[in-house]
């Protein structure tokens, strides 16, 4: 389980907190109802926030990577695979791809490397 830093977690009714600031997620047992599901304790604050979402939903959001992070990681893996494959293409095939197909593999490989270095 890994808490993601600087990721906002939705507590309901327009409330958001940074995931790395959450120190406790406690279900409300007394007077629980709409708008009052979970106490959220934040680092450096003595009073908890009241969340309208259930504790299991909040915990799931705290420990899962956002979809954008997962997609970005997958895209980088695909680019690494592609640049590795491109490095194995010989000069003759590169020339044919460029001259006959208009595909400059050297330029493509260079641009992928630039993206991966950022």
Query: What is the per-residue pLDDT across 54-108, written as a single tens digit (0 to 9) for each?
Result: 999 999 888 876 677 778 888 999 999 999 999 999 999 999 999 999 999 999 9
Rg of the chain, C-alpha, whole Å: 24
Beta pairing partners, 22: 42
Residue 50 CB partners (closer than 8 Å, separation 6+): 28, 35, 36, 38, 39, 40
8 Å CB contact between 38 and 58: yes
Query: What is the per-residue pLDDT across 6-17, written as a single tens digit (0 to 9) for each?
Result: 788 999 999 999
E strand spans, 6-117? 8-12, 15-18, 22-27, 38-42, 49-51
């Amino acid at each position: 389980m890994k808490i993601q830093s600087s990721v906002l977690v939705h507590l309901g009714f327009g409330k958001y907190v940074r995931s790395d600031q959450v120190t406790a997620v406690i279900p409300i047992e007394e007077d629980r109802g709409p708008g009052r599901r979970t106490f959220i304790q934040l680092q450096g604050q003595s009073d908890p926030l009241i969340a309208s979402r259930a504790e299991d939903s909040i915990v799931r959001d705290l420990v899962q990577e956002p979809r954008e992070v997962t997609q970005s990681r997958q895209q980088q893996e695909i680019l690494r695979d592609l640049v590795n494959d491109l490095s194995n293409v010989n000069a003759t095939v590169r020339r044919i791809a460029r001259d006959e197909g208009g595909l400059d593999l050297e330029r493509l490989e260079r641009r992928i490397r630039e993206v991966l270095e950022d």
